[in-house]
Amino acid sequence: MQIDEEVAKLLQLKAQLGGDDGKHQFVLKTAKGTRDYNPKQMAIREKVFNTIIGCFKRHGAETIDTPVFELKETLTGKYGEDSKLIYDLKDQGGELLSLRYDLTVPFARYLAMNKITNIKRYHIAKVYRRDNPAMTRGRYREFYQCDFDIAGQYDAMIPDAECLKIVHEILSELDLGDFRIKVNDRRILDGMFAVCGVPDDKFRTICSTVDKLDKLPWEEVKKEMVNEKGLSEEAADQIGEYVSMQGGMDLAERLLQDQKMSQSKQACAGLSDIKLLFSYLQLFQVTDKASAEKVRTTEVQVMVASAQKNLLEEKLKLITELWNAGIKAEVMYKKNPKLLSQLQHCEESGIPLVAILGEQELKDGVVKLRVVATREEVQLIHNTHTVSLLAHGRMT
């Protein structure tokens, strides 16, 4: 492999020296940090995208796309120290361009450019970072990002809760195993730093250190805070007490009562919003991972049945209307089946609904629609209504 790499480098050099040679250039490599997707990988990718996009669409999101490169200055000054990881395009006499680093800055540009104030959008596309790729750890320089964002002024925490609901749905559907979604709030963090005695100008840098807790033990994190960032040991200890806390709405409640924390208006605002968030998450059934037992998208069918004899013709007419409207429907291949058999067939096949035609109903011009499992019924006027009510909402 090293020989291959060396050969490739030498050939590359030769090509540069040789100019536009044109003949047999044997460069059989993708650029560093990038890779092809073979058909198997594409098949997996397609499934994953379908699941994810299905979820986004279920939540009413639209999608947009933006160019792979932006004007260099659109990206300038947005990524802090990471700016050095941006791929620039060569200056070939036109505008200075750079490959997009994420999908969020292009999104912001798109909103501003089109003066959009409200949108719920997803965007799945590749982004580019001149990282030091550790391919064994799955880090590439060209990789997909899959973003979902809700922009606009709305009542507090509802869109925020929907984002979490979406993450929950996606991770569940992808069947990746157990997962946890950790939630916090910038205002709570800042408020916590304040009441623990962290100087204002150290908030961001202490925040980065706290961020390392997902990889380092507390002792090392504390060491960095005190030795490198110049925090007092007392302040660090106070932070240490808070950052070990995890919980649900109850934790938010407790912290609102906490003598120290409650001194920060900022923290209190954040905590109230966390409570509100959790109340919505409860309604969305995502607070307890175990309770999110989901019914998959199923093939729903309607059994077209009859309560008396000699109704085959009517059943066939009705089923044709249903089929024409794209509804999956069945009828028994029997001129005069017993109602009970038809209902039994529904139970055995898992057909959820049965449309029952009967002589009286035909006279009244209605169809009875029954939920098989519970027997509750709705009477529908049999005309275009039946079908339009049954069929409406389909994407044509």
Partner 1 sequence: MFCIRACSGLVGCRTATRVRSLHSLPGITVAQIDEEVAKLLQLKAQLGGDDGKHQFVLKTAKGTRDYNPKQMAIREKVFNTIIGCFKRHGAETIDTPVFELKETLTGKYGEDSKLIYDLKDQGGELLSLRYDLTVPFARYLAMNKITNIKRYHIAKVYRRDNPAMTRGRYREFYQCDFDIAGQYDAMIPDAECLKIVHEILSELDLGDFRIKVNDRRILDGMFAVCGVPDDKFRTICSTVDKLDKLPWEEVKKEMVNEKGLSEEAADQIGEYVSMQGGMDLAERLLQDQKMSQSKQACAGLSDIKLLFSYLQLFQVTDKVVFDLSLARGLDYYTGIIYEAVLTQAGVAPVTTDAQNGAPSEESVSVGSVAGGGRYDGLVGMFDPKGRKVPCVGVSIGIERVFSIMEQKAEASAEKVRTTEVQVMVASAQKNLLEEKLKLITELWNAGIKAEVMYKKNPKLLSQLQHCEESGIPLVAILGEQELKDGVVKLRVVATREEVQLIHNTHTVSLITVSTKV
Question: Is residue 266 within 8 Å of 237, Cβ to Cβ?
Answer: no
Among 102, 104, 109, 223, binds partner 1 (CB under 8 A): 109
Does 365 bind partner 1 (CB under 8 A)? Our answer is no
With tokens 């204002």, the residue in question is 200
- The residue range among 158-166, 219-227, 260-268, 332-340 that interacts with partner 1, by the rule CB under 8 A, is 158-166
Where on the phi/psi map is residue 22: left (φ > 0), alpha (ψ -120 to 50), or beta? Answer: left
Residue 385 Cα distances to 170, 314, 372, 381, angstroms: 36, 16, 21, 6
Does 392 bind partner 1 (CB under 8 A)? Our answer is yes
- Burial call 37-62: b when 16+ CB within 10 Å, e when fewer: eeeeeeeeeeeeeeebbebbeebebe
Q: Of the two residues 145 and 262, which places its CB atom closer to partner 1 in the complex?
A: 145
Does 294 bind partner 1 (CB under 8 A)? Our answer is yes
Does 177 bind partner 1 (CB under 8 A)? Our answer is no
With tokens 């007092």, the residue in question is 232
370 is in an annotated binding site: no
Q: How far is the CB of 357 from partner 1 (least distance, A)?
A: 17
Half-sphere exposure of 229 toward its Cβ, with a 13 Å CA cutoff? 25
Pairwise CA distance, residues 67 & 84, whole Å: 21
Q: Of the two residues 162 and 321, which places its CB atom closer to partner 1 in the complex?
A: 162
Question: Is residue 260 within 8 Å of 195, Cβ to Cβ?
Answer: yes
Sign, CA dihedral 126-130-136-137, equals: negative
Binding residue count for partner 1, defined by CB under 8 A: 110
Q: How far is the CB of 107 from partner 1 (least distance, A)?
A: 10
Does 59 bind partner 1 (CB under 8 A)? Our answer is yes
Residue 146: strand pairing partners: 124
Residue 162 Cα distances to 259, 282, 300, 388, angstroms: 32, 12, 26, 30
Pairwise CA distance, residues 283 & 292, whole Å: 11
Pairwise CA distance, residues 246 & 122, whole Å: 30
145 is in an annotated binding site: yes
First to last CA, the chain: 53
Structure tokens at 380: 């529908």
Among 66, 104, 232, 272, binds partner 1 (CB under 8 A): 66
Q: Of the two residues 164 and 239, which places its CB atom closer to partner 1 in the complex?
A: 164
- The residue range among 110-118, 201-209, 216-224, 335-343 that interacts with partner 1, by the rule CB under 8 A, is 110-118
Among 2, 17, 23, 176, binds partner 1 (CB under 8 A): 23
Task: Give residues 206-235 in contact with partner 1 (rule: CB under 8 A).
Answer: none
Pairwise CA distance, residues 61 & 63, whole Å: 7
- The residue range among 153-161, 193-201, 210-218, 335-343 that interacts with partner 1, by the rule CB under 8 A, is 153-161
379 is in an annotated binding site: no
187 is in an annotated binding site: no
Task: Give residues 307-346 in contact with partner 1 (rule: CB under 8 A).
Answer: 325-328
Q: How far is the CB of 64 from partner 1 (least distance, A)?
A: 6
Does 356 bind partner 1 (CB under 8 A)? Our answer is no
237 is in an annotated binding site: no
Q: Of the two residues 154 and 218, which places its CB atom closer to partner 1 in the complex?
A: 154
Residue 105 three-state SS: helix
Among 44, 49, 50, 73, binds partner 1 (CB under 8 A): 73
Q: How far is the CB of 19 from partner 1 (least distance, A)?
A: 9
Q: Which residues are annotated as a binding site?
A: 102-104, 129, 145, 149
